[in-house]
Structure 1
Amino acid sequence: MVALTAITRAILNFRDLEEKLGRRRTENPHFFPEWQMSLPELSATETTGLNRLSQRYLTYLETNEVSEGTLNIILLAPFLDMLGLCDPPYRIRGETWVEVQTQIDTEGGKITLEGRIDALTVLDNFWLVVIEGKRSSFSVLRAIPQAIAYMSATQYHPIFGLVTNGYDYLFIKCAGSEFGLSHNFSLLSDATGNLLRVAQVLKHLVRLNFRTINNGKGLTPNG
């Protein structure tokens, strides 16, 4: 019998990732160079739109806490749409349940972790970017172990993720049993420039993954 355990209860920190999923953070500076490489330029329309989204979010934040639902409406959904990730060949699949099975046995049998991914960019059933929509008071560092647990459900490597609570943005790369993290991009430290940088990194990782999984098919990404 396979036991079902919520990811939010079973994977709480980096130690849980290592002990239950065999995933450990690497300190190798060459493991995750993609977020620091030469990045695609943004159009004038994208730059104007992204700056507007940044100011919109900060305006909401000044008056009240931004809930997960509000965050998706005022920022994340238009952000993905602006980058062309809602249109073919990309697709956004929301409220997706992903099961992750550990490699260890317990007295009750193998443990399967189950949880919800708020937004998932999919291309031919391949995960391109995982976005964890969390409340503004939820630290992105607390969300990383759960995001990596979700990402572990795929057999493709490397795979990239983006964890955000609206004002903090942190990229993840998983390959084999290791994972690496980018710098934390915060809107509160740079209200406009950081979201532009996040958009550039995101576009670069999406295109990189597209080329990898479609090598030899003659397909090219939008944008």
Structure 2
Amino acid sequence: MVQSLPISNLSLYDIKAKFDLREAQDESFFPEWYQELPELTESEQQALDQIKRNFLYLNESPLAEVAVKMVVLSPLLSMAGFYQPPFRFSTEASVQITAEDDGQLFRGRIDVLVLQERFWILTVESKEAGFSLKQAIAQALAYMTGNPYPERPVFGLVTNGSHFIFLKLTQREIPQYALSDEFSLMKRSNDLYHVLKILKHLGKSLVF
């Protein structure tokens, strides 16, 4: 009988072992988060400054996951163009993944899934504000291995509302992944500028 385990119980060590994932050491593996990023308009910067002020004010009290989505994620995805053609947007999409080594079945739910021409191009694993991104990274990588087009790279974003990390996964030959730098709203500067630039760059570069 195949054993079924929740993805939320898996650590990064578990994910790397179960799916034979390796962390890419070459910086050129994931240039999409720091190369050829678009410039932002003054109005976009003002909107991002307002999002940061909203979050910092509301975060004085504990923010639940749904609030993180509404206050931070939703406006970011809208500004990046993911609510417009040619993208198809789906939420809470189910994902089922089977580890090849021992036949164990891992099930979970992805928080936000952006689709374009049946291509899984962006996953967002949202966690409550204050929740460490460590477990979210493990869950996001597990979900990303369920990409139905393994010949193409898949990208992800994990956030707890105040911190953001982008991910890239490829499954050609040796499965590999890499992480971006961590961006934070707790700095004096507004790292949402960088987050939006990366989202817009991914959106444009992955349309085909």
Deviation at 1:191, TM superposition (A): 4.9
Match of 2:87 among 85, 90, 107: 90
Residue matched to 2:142: 149
Taking the TM superposition and a 5 Å limit, the aligned residue runs for 1:5-154 are: 5-9=5-9, 11-13=10-12, 15-62=13-60, 64-105=61-102, 110-154=103-147
Q: Classify the secondary structure of the residue corresponding to 1:183.
A: coil
Count of matched residue positions in the alignment of Structure 1 and Structure 2: 203
Q: How does the TM-score come out when normalised to structure 1?
A: 0.86
Note if contact 2:81-2:203 (Cα within 8 Å) is conserved in structure 1. Answer: no
Counterpart CA distance in 2 for 1:112 and 1:169 is 29
Letter in 2 for 1:32: F
Q: Distance in 2 between matches of 1:34 and 1:20?
A: 27
TM superposition outliers: structure 1 runs of 4+ over 4 Å = none
SS in 2 for 1:113: strand
* Match of residue 170 from structure 1: 165
Distance in structure 2 (CA, Å) of the matches to 1:17 and 1:111: 12
Where 2:195 maps in the other structure, the secondary structure is: helix
Give identity over the alignment, percent.
Answer: 34
Q: Structure 1 residue 24: deviation in Å?
A: 1.7
SS of alignment partner, residue 187 of structure 2: coil
1:202 maps to 199
Cα separation, 1, equivalents of 2:204 and 2:170: 18
Q: Show the counterpart of 2:155.
A: 160
Letter in 2 for 1:8: S
Q: CA RMSD in A?
A: 1.4
1:187 and 2:185 matched: yes
CA contact (8 A) 1:136 1:167 kept: yes
Query: What is the rounded CA distance, in whole Å, between the counterparts of 1:185 and 1:19 in structure 2?
Result: 27
TM-score when scaled to structure 2? 0.92
* Change in CA separation of 1:99 and 1:201 when aligned onto 2, cut-off 3 Å: same
- Cα distance in structure 1, aligned partners of 2:22 and 2:33: 19
Residues 191 and 28 of structure 1: CA distance in aligned 2, closer, same or farther (over 3 Å): same
